[in-house]
A and B are shown apart, each in its own frame.
Chain A
Amino acid sequence: MHFASIDYLIFLPLVVLVYWGLPRSSRLSWLALASLGFYASWNWVYLPLLVATIAFAWMGGLWMAKLRRSGGVGLSWVVLGLLLPLFLFKYANWVAASLEQVLPVRLGRIDAELPLGISFFTFQAIAYVVDIRRGRDAERNPVHFASFLSFFPQLISGPIVRVQELLPQLKAQPWLQPGDVGEALYRIGMGVTKKLVFADSLRLGIVSPVFTDPSQFTGIEIAIALYAYTLQIYCDFSGYMDIAIGSGRLFGFRLPENFDRPYQATSVAEFWRRWHITLSNWVRDYVYFGLGGARTDREWKVYRNLILTMVVIGLWHKASWTLVLYGALHGVALGINRYRRKRSGRRPGASLSSVWGWGWRFLLTFHFIVLARILFRSENMAMVGEVLEGLTGAYTLAPRFSPLAMGLLALGFLLHFSPLRWDRRLSDVFRRGGPGLWTLGLSAVAVVCILFGSEQALAFEYYQF
């Protein structure tokens, strides 16, 4: 069941209305049940895996709490146990293929699809047990825990919610606050538009054809496809987030934001503070700090930690050498960022003194991100080579993409770089508005999506991770 589908348009209000109609004591059970049903609607075969992960993490949490009191060590076993399905489904075949490249061995393969959302709920479960080992309380009620880990708005593609961010809310079951419904509908409408109108149109109209066979396209067309992919992946993923956050708000829950206009960043470090924020925070807390972070005896170890952390981010997305390289490239960029900052004495996040200083940093950062997306999008290194080679092709021909796709590309970037206060004002109008305004707004969104959206109900890009 896609978020941006009529199925979800029926499913969500049903679950919300039943939730609020039930006595408080039954609401979380209903939420857990609905979430499991939501997951099963994709492929029921993998439902036992989700249930097993919930059970394992819940019991692992209780064990961690017990070990903490007794001083035992067992965290590694629980983490390894949680990582095992992820490894088997996502990384085993890649590791086997990579080993076969360098060793004279023939290894078997696992013939199974990647279960949806496995990277997200596995990382969420790992954070839960690690936090307990670090001193947080374990959740004793399995229903509460199940409703936390399987909460359907964030189950498939995040945001990666920490236990302290959601579980207390689930247990408190907050009432709806004034403006919650308006805000929720605004976010859902915005998310559906980003996904169906912008992301899918750019994907079908520009990105997919070019990345299917770059050799058929000129240099300028490939360059445009890179910009289009940069916008597409943002609209796709942040569109999902908008729907997730809006859906959560209809239950009275506040999910953390995952994006903050990332392409406005003026450094790669700032980009990662604005892009997939919950994953950045997760790897910072559980990988970067785990490796020693910036508190090391030697400066080079900080750079090593940065690169390793970013390689983990790359690999988290997909088991692929292009993603390893993507992560490493971003790690090196972060290292250069840090080196320059230390030399200049500028503090992280300090405002830039001149338009010129802002301008060149912005352009450099933005184009680094755009070019690095070649690694993110390409299936293999051969395609990376094809795209890079294609980029040096003719720039004199006018691009042969449809005016609609080109218009959406321009409009999408214009909106991305528009002042945030415009978005806030529109959101406020929705918050203060009533059913009439919401109906008008959402109907307009529906008409635009039906007329201009993709026919194929393409899955969100991050479902594959």
Chain B
Amino acid sequence: MLTSPPTHRRELRDLGFFLLLFGALAAETFLLPQTASVRPWVEGERLPLVGLMDSEPQEQLAHSNSEIPERTPAVYVALEHAERLGFFFQGLREIEEGKDRTVRVLHFGDSTIAADGIPGAIRRRLQARFGDRGPGFLPLHVDTRWVYRPGVSRLTSGEWETWNLTQGGAPHRRYGLGGSPSRLTGRGGMELVWKGLEPASPPLTQATLHLQKQPGGGTVRIRLDSGEPVEIATRSEQVQDHRETLTASSGFQTVAIESQGNGPVSFYGVALDRGTTGVTWETLGVAGSSIGSMRRQNPEHLQSEIAARSPSLLVYQTGGNALGYDSFKEGDGEAFLEQYLNVLGRLRSGAPEASCLLVGPLDQGIRVRGRVESKKDSPRMIGIQRAAADAAGCAFWDAREVMGGEGGFARWMAHEPTLTWTDLMHLSQEGSLLVGERFADALLQAYDRSGTVDLVESEEGGP
């Protein structure tokens, strides 16, 4: 029998020591709670090695598409306190009764709204039933990473400067309805083209430019298609909001804005309307925004901008970006609730008679030991928002529940096609559309019931 050489024995001894040390470190993670997050095995997982005998072969061979489970449907979730939407429902009812009525909805929110996935789905449903009054308010110069509106294209020239609610810095804290004002310096302009999504839709007939008059402000020329231009001088003694409405009874597609180069011109956006009875569902989302950023708005300015649209319903959908706030995490949430109510008060002051609907944040993921789990604080945030809705007399809708509640993000992420982005925060376009569809289901269900039954008694059931 051959005797092993000393070098071999040394290698083997070192390997043995390594295995002992490594094994001891692994065992230590079960003794010290501080190291629990790096345990090589946790309760509930298949037992290493011996557990291989129990598992199905298919489970072990997860490759390519087999990691994707069955389709996860979006869950129907009813509106809470739908009876608080009386003013909005009344407007819809009058349209159905044949009255010449415009029902505007201003949907404020964060990046989950800015890409128009959720509002777009609701808009299509409501406009299909009650009539299409037009696209509504659109910010002019936008951050195209997040802000997207199907059917709208913008061609710009000249020197544009843009701010947003999240980053702040807008002169005089005037951010406009869209939360994203812009300033054009020198000669230049923009052609905003509404291509329309439905060929049979009636034409746009009215454009209202929301802008700012200011000391030293320049002159801007606006034209609808090839119509006669209207010149607006934005120079004034003091800073003030100004709205200029142009009409084209035969319809238009393009709003051309041209600065004359005699001073800066500041814009908040443009509202596009049709001269027909119907509904607008206006997307007013700003990426990264939260109640903190909404408080950047000059209150009087915000009030006047909202009032100018005379909405029937204010929807406020936020919370995802505020999960890390100290005012939310610390204490019992009273401070956060107070801030939330303060922002709600500012929004509602522009349309005191309008109905109000708060929407909770979507489920968000966090990676724990490689798994995607739901953020723990989301239910608490939703609880505070419910309390805010009660205190302010608003209806409430739990968007997270649509994703199935706890674990929703992971399930939607694994869905084929995927319903989320991989940043563990946002939904894909398809995911957003699903949420928007369920939102529209809940809204229309509540509306239909509002005419026949007492909504306080009946909030259960799906379509």
Contact = CB atoms under 8 A, between A and B. Distances in A.
Given A7-B52, A400-B426, A456-B62, A43 B57 contact: yes
B428 A216 contact: yes
B37 A396 contact: no
B370 A453 contact: yes
B452 interface: no
Contacts of B2: 24
B18 A455 contact: no
Interface string A1-31: 1100111011101001100100110000000
Nearest to B68: A212
Contacts of A403: 423
B60 A181 contact: no
B325 interface: no
Contacts, number: 162
A23 B1 contact: yes
Interface in A150-191: 175-178, 180-181, 185
A4 to B, nearest CB: 12
What bracket does the count of chain A residues touching chain B fall in?
35 or more
Contacts of B370: 449-455
A52 interface: no
B144 A455 contact: no
Interface stretch (A306-314, A417-425, A435-443): A435-443
Interface stretch (B8-16, B96-104, B264-272): B8-16
A437 B40 CA distance: 20
Contact of B15 (A16, A396, A436): A16
A396 B52 contact: no
B416 A212 contact: yes
A176 to B, nearest CB: 4
A434 B57 contact: no
B155 interface: no
B240 interface: no
Contacts of A461: 63
A6 B129 CA distance: 57
B423 A400 contact: yes
A400 B21 CA distance: 42
A327 interface: no
A442 B7 contact: no
Closest 7 A/B residue pairs (Cβ): A213-B417, A175-B8, A43-B57, A435-B17, A176-B11, A455-B371, A455-B370
Interface of A: 1-2, 5-7, 9-11, 13, 16-17, 20, 23-24, 41-43, 45, 113, 116, 175-178, 180-181, 185, 204-206, 208-209, 212-213, 216, 250, 396-398, 400-403, 405, 434-436, 438-439, 442-443, 446-447, 449-461, 463-464
23 contacts: A1-B60, A2-B60, A6-B49, A9-B40, A13-B19, A16-B15, A24-B2, A42-B57, A176-B8, A177-B11, A181-B14, A181-B18, A206-B422, A213-B430, A216-B429, A398-B145, A402-B424, A435-B17, A438-B18, A447-B38, A451-B37, A454-B370, A460-B63
Given A7-B49, A41-B52, A439-B21, 11 more contacts: A1-B60, A6-B41, A9-B48, A181-B15, A209-B428, A212-B418, A401-B422, A450-B38, A458-B63, A459-B61, A459-B62
